[in-house]
Amino acid sequence: MLIALDAMGGDHAPAEIVAGALLARKEHGIESALVGSKEIIEAELAKQGEPATSIQVVHASEAIAMDESPAQAVRAKRDASINVAMALVKRGVAHGFVSAGNTGAVMASALMNLGRIQGIERPALGTVAPFTDRGVLVLDVGANADVKPNYLVQFGQMGSVYAERVMGIKDPRVALLNIGGEEGKGNELAQDVYQRLQHAGVNFVGNIEGGELHRGGVDVVVTDGFTGNVSMKVTEGVADFIFSELRASMTSKLHYRLAALLLRPGLLKLRDRMDPGTYGGVPLLGVNGFVLIGHGNSNARAIKNALKTASDGAQSGMLDSIKTALTRKS
């Protein structure tokens, strides 16, 4: 089981990416192939005190920057690390792909090189929100700003498979993000999707409101990529806001400093739980391969966690299960 790893992608590439690959091997025995400029990667390995032969390196002569126009860059730079890594997956040399690089470019390259699973209308980005120990999978969180009802039905089917196969949740509860609890609530899209999800072969438990996401009553939350993206970013933003306000209030007086000292373990644990790096990345569901996209600011730990998820995911039989789910009706 080999995972292709984009050594050139992310704000902290290549140092944290290389460090993450080494960590994943050490802690989980996961083999990855570092894809990118051989020269840069080998220099980084040397800097981290590793012999150049200790880990597989696959050369790619180009790299796509975080702010490049995705579709264009993927077509123009055929030898970009993302494209080269994707080709490894396509040829079966690698069994999964992890990148902390340009999200749009990873999506475009996956579509171009791997293609969609037959029958899937649109791939979706899922994110694992840390509201429960097992996590809550929310999808789509940004791949599809404009949607049709059937896209969301397929998001529910793919999400259900991912929750079961990769997150280890039996018979996952699938809910529709909406602005009211009862049937008939919401915009036209939500009302339509509600009806369809009842006959989609998933364990559909109805609507869920934004204020209930954190209560842990559901496992998979289906939404369009616009609402999903805003929701997950608001989640990160509010957590950020509260932690920084707390920090500010704590250092304002001496006895607050003492309290901060005492509280540090609990606060750090919570921060850790809210940190996107804990889950390591968001899966791109619906393409012919296991593709995981890390946060742009991924550090070694986030990369290690992403490699673990990709390794588990690639072994899970998820792709076949998605194909089956598409034809299953309740």
Least gap, CB of 196 to its own copies (angstroms): 18
Least gap, CB of 137 to its own copies (angstroms): 16
Least gap, CB of 228 to its own copies (angstroms): 9
- Note whether 2 and 56 are within 8 A (CB): yes
Least gap, CB of 166 to its own copies (angstroms): 24
Instruction: Describe the crossing of helices 38-47 and 15-28 by its angle, rounded to 10 degrees.
Output: 60
Residue with tokens 């990667």: 41
Least gap, CB of 240 to its own copies (angstroms): 7
Which residue(s) pair with 285 in the sheet? 124
Provide the pairing of β-strand 173-177 with 220-222: parallel
Report the alpha-carbon distance of residue 211 to residue 208 in Å, rounded: 8
**What number of residues does the chain have?**
330
> Cis omega (within 30 of 0) on the bond before 14?
yes
Least gap, CB of 229 to its own copies (angstroms): 4
Q: Which is nearer to its own copies, 42 or 192 (CB)?
A: 192
Dig out the tokens for 197 from the structure.
């999800």
Q: Which is nearer to its own copies, 17 or 175 (CB)?
A: 175
- Output the CA–CA distances (angstroms, integers) from residue 219 to 23, 88, 90, in the order listed: 29, 32, 30
Q: Which is nearer to its own copies, 20 or 225 (CB)?
A: 225
Q: Which is nearer to its own copies, 24 or 213 (CB)?
A: 213
Q: Which is nearer to its own copies, 18 or 108 (CB)?
A: 108
- Output the CA–CA distances (angstroms, integers) from residue 258 to 113, 267, 273, in the order listed: 56, 14, 24
Q: Which is nearer to its own copies, 199 or 269 (CB)?
A: 269
- Residue 277 DSSP symbol: G
Contacts to its own copies by CB under 8 A = 131, 142, 145-146, 177, 179, 186-188, 190, 209-215, 225-227, 229-242, 245-246, 249-250, 252, 255-256, 258-259, 262-263, 265-267, 269-270, 273-274
